[in-house]
Chains A and B, each alone.
Chain A
Amino acid sequence: MNVSETPFDFVTASYLTRIGNQSAGTLAELLTGLEHCSDASIFHHTFQTLGTHHFLTEGFSNDFAQWTLSSTNRNDLAEQLATLDIRDYTSIAALRSDLCRVVRDFCAAQPQFASQSGLERFYFCESLEVTVHLGRSARNLDEFREGLQHLSHAGFYFHFISSRLRLQLQTNDFSHWLSASLGLRALADSINHIDVYTNTLDSARAKMLRLIDRERRKV
């Protein structure tokens, strides 16, 4: 069994939600908010919300899409916002740019809806991350499996989803370590292809454990 010189340190993160001073009652105001809100706010309503609503595996992608659907009843725009996949982004700036483009194009094409008031207001919030080490690390695949199995939802989310922004690569902490430290590129790729939108955090983890077990049987 491969042993890594660099251990995988399991970390967990807790998130505080900071309420911003911006809100939107119309699509035009949503666009203004998207243009001016902080990066932490874009992160909160896209990456973070996927973690806190991971159990919804159908029709829920991010807060902007959900508000557009439930409050303004614009299914067409909601669908476009929902199809922006956070796995395609390694920077908040790029994600913000696409969110703005989608809303701007819609408002330009259908100006009659841009200033129509929604049922409820949208409040821009921010995520503040607090991380702590769990005191558990792995140097081989067995130890890695053990740590993964016992990880909380927040810890799993931190390593599997929000890590994409930290790494600024099209991958996650798990895949990055498996590939770079244990040389298990195929396993790393398979894990990176687990769909975070159609899986809950639990089902994604179960798939990951099955992939690891298959790898262990090869040894």
Chain B
Amino acid sequence: MTEVLAANRIPLENYADVVGAGEIEELRALAKPLRGRSIEMINSTAVGGGVAEILNRLVPLAEELDLNIRWDVMKGAEEFFDVTKSFHNALHGEPYQAQPRDFEVFLSYNEQNRATLPLDAEFMVIHDPQPAALIDARQPGSNHWVWRCHIDLSHPNRAVWDFLEKFVSHYDGAMFSSPEFSRQLSIAQYLFYPAIDPLSEKNCPLEQEFIQQVLQRYQIDPQRPILTQISRFDRLKDPVGVIRAYRIVKRYFDCQLVLAGGSASDDPEGALVLKDVLRAAEHDPDIKILELPAWAPREVNALQCASTIVIQKSLREGFGLTVSEALWKKKPVVASAVGGIPAQIIHKHTGLLAHSVEGTAYQIRFLLSHPEIAAKLGEHGHEHVKENFLITQKLKRYLALFLMLDRRP
């Protein structure tokens, strides 16, 4: 195990307090027939990004269940990651003119990695488009290969998807975060939700004193309602739309708005969006625009805990795990019905969905007027996350997948 993974190790038994001893017993029972079986997870980055964050948690837990699991990161130079970033954006539907050279670069680095990575585990799990062409190393009938796609493929760039599909169709199955993201494929497609770790710094219970310190540091008044959106400064997260919704709410409630995201200093597009956000805020002292350090999980946790209502007014969304993070903290959430959000927000049961600025404002006003309903939504939201979006559930889904692949004739 790498040092990073060792540092992230949380004993499986610790999760029993959160999910119940029966769930841990069940994980052990599911893992028993897979003991010692080899699994190789491959993605393109060891740190940063949701996939690495999940694998950092998942791999040590799988090891504890006596699975022979390894996590390898494919290697690539700047030209490869430039191409795959363009592919990523194109698959999300952004305009892109793919050049033959782009495909050559993609194939060349996949070929180099085929020569250096083991790729001989009984269960191969390939994450996202970057390493998708590693499948060409597969010997017929040798091992099981599945492709885990973490991005929204509902409106992909035709040329890029046609190119990728040739590789994807050779896998035994593909996993998507939402049915909406899937494609018409000849192989089986499964729903695999992303997950949060309830024991991580971003989601574990915090001392009230620390929460108060964070509020004080950012001059947020704990006595008045706090509306919060946690997301990077990105147009697709519609931070300006959130400010417009807040202004409507402000006519009726003396509330504050917190827009907190990672620093935009090394992201040219993020810096432009931040400028727009600052302009839209018009120096309103009740709008707090916070550029948090790249990795400030405890601060994010504290802001979510202190919030009266959490907002996720995205225009498009991958899965939007910040919604699950807020629900886990029993917060009422008002969010857009896009991407993976409707899986997390069952309208009127685990939160409220909205389709416009005005709709978002209306739902926020409704919850501020009915705190008992807000509390109930938060309670149900917490249970929904516990049942479906925790790391232990994700591990269970993987175990079920491996068992199913293994039992298939």
Contacts and interface: CB of A to CB of B under 8 A. Distances in A.
Interface of A: 12, 14-19, 21, 23, 52-56, 59-60, 66, 70, 119-121, 123, 125, 128, 130, 132-135, 150-155, 200
Nearest to B182: A19
A152 B349 contact: no
B180 A152 contact: no
B387 A152 contact: no
A19 B26 contact: no
Contacts of B188: 18
Interface in B294-346: 337, 342, 346
A204 to B, nearest CB: 14
Contact of A19 (B176, B347, B399): B176
Interface stretch (B16-24, B200-208, B363-371): B16-24
Contact of A152 (B23, B350, B353): B23
Q: What bracket does the count of chain B residues touching chain A fall in?
A: 35 or more
B346 A66 contact: yes
Contacts of A121: 180
Nearest to A135: B29
Interface in B1-60: 20-23, 25-26, 29-30, 32-33
B22 A150 contact: yes
B387 A14 contact: no
Contacts of A134: 25-26, 29
Given A119-B355, A132-B32, A150-B25, A14 B400 contact: yes
Contacts of A119: 337, 355
B77 interface: no
B396 interface: yes
Contacts of B250: none
Given A14-B400, A125-B191, A53 B384 contact: yes
Given A120-B342, A153-B22, A56 B30 contact: no
13 contacts: A12-B29, A21-B184, A55-B380, A56-B346, A66-B346, A125-B179, A125-B191, A130-B400, A130-B404, A152-B23, A153-B20, A153-B23, A154-B396
Interface string B138-171: 0000000000000000000000000000000000
Nearest to A51: B387
Contacts of A125: 179, 191
B114 interface: no
Contacts of A70: 346-348, 353
B190 interface: yes
B231 interface: no
